[in-house]
Each structure stands twice: as C-alpha cells, then as structure tokens.
C-alpha cells in the first residue's frame, strides 16, 4: 500500500526536509533510575565521612604543653620524698583515676625512678607510668604530668 508520491507534493518529507522525530528506545528506560542511583552511591562516602570516631592521638609537643600535675625537688643523693611531695603525688593519682589518664614522669634517672616507685606504692599500675629522662635542667627536679 505504498503509493508513489508526487515529487512536487509539499507534504512529502523527502522534499520539504521535515521528518518525524525518532521514538525513544524502550531498552534505555533503565537509565531513568540508574543515573540517580549511581549519583547517590557516589555521594554516600562523602555524606558519612564526618561521622567516624576520631582516633585519639598525642604527640610529644602536646604532652609537653600540658601543665605539670606535680613538681618534686629532690636534694642530690636523696631518694626520699617529703610529706608535701607525697600529697601532691596523691592529688595527681586522684586526677589520673578520675580522668582515666596515664602519668608521665620526667626528670633525672634516679629522681624519676623514686617518683615512679612512690606512684606505684599509691596504687598506680606500672603500665600507666611513662618515665623519661630530662634533657637539661635541675638534676633534682622531677615533673609529673597527666597524659
């Protein structure tokens, strides 16, 4: 039932250059839901990035900036602590227990060891005490800080 058309007929699309628009293919309908789904999946890592728990990290510079909990001055050759030193260490132990912190002891080798032994005798586990030797300063001065 194809009837030949008159070449001079203005309604003939071949003559006028006007053609019907192509109909959409039915196999591309999945694109209507796949593209938004892909965008949502790509955005998920960026949306939930801020909800991770921060990892607690401490550097030596941060630990040094914390104010000392106690400062003990030992006379040279002496390994005994005064009652005032024992009381200030007891306050440090109480603060460490309340905050769940560990204790850093910095000073001369002998002085830091004396303070460490005093802290252990007051109930601080040896694993919670970090002893480091002071680079310079008064050889009888021992500084105790919470970490």
Give 10-residue mean pLDDT values along the chain (147 residues): 63 59 67 89 82 61 64 76 87 87 86 88 88 76 84
Q: Does the residue 50 lie in any domain?
A: no
Alpha-carbon separation of residue 122 from 73, 77, 132 (angstroms): 19, 23, 20
- pLDDT of 100: 85
**pLDDT value at residue 76:** 66
What was the pLDDT predicted at 2?
64
Could you give the maximum distance between any two Cα atoms of the chain, in Å?
123
pLDDT at 11: 63
Q: Which helix (H) or strand (E) holds 14?
A: helix 13-16
Specify the pLDDT at position 37. Answer: 92
Q: Which domain covers residue 122, as residue numbers?
A: 60-146
Q: Does residue 11 belong to any structural domain of this protein?
A: no
As for how many domains the chain has, the answer is 1
For residue 20, being part of any structural domain is answered with no
What's the predicted TM-score (pTM) here?
Answer: 0.54
Pairing of strands 103-107, 141-146: antiparallel
CATH number of the domain bearing residue 72: 3.30.1330.60
């Amino acid at each position: 039932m194809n009837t030949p058309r008159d070449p001079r007929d203005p309604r003939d699309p071949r003559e006028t250059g006007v053609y019907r628009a192509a109909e959409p293919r039915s196999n591309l309908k999945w694109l209507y839901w796949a593209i938004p789904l892909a965008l949502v999946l790509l955005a998920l890592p960026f949306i939930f990035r801020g909800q991770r728990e921060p990892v607690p990290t401490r550097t030596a510079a941060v630990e040094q900036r914390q104010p000392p909990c106690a400062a003990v001055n030992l006379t040279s050759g002496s390994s005994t602590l005064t009652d005032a030193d024992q009381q200030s260490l007891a306050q440090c132990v109480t603060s460490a227990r309340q905050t769940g912190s560990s204790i850093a002891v910095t000073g001369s080798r002998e002085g830091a060891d004396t303070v460490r032994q005093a802290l252990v005798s007051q109930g601080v586990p040896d694993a919670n005490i970090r002893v480091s030797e002071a680079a310079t300063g008064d050889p009888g001065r021992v500084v105790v800080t919470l970490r």
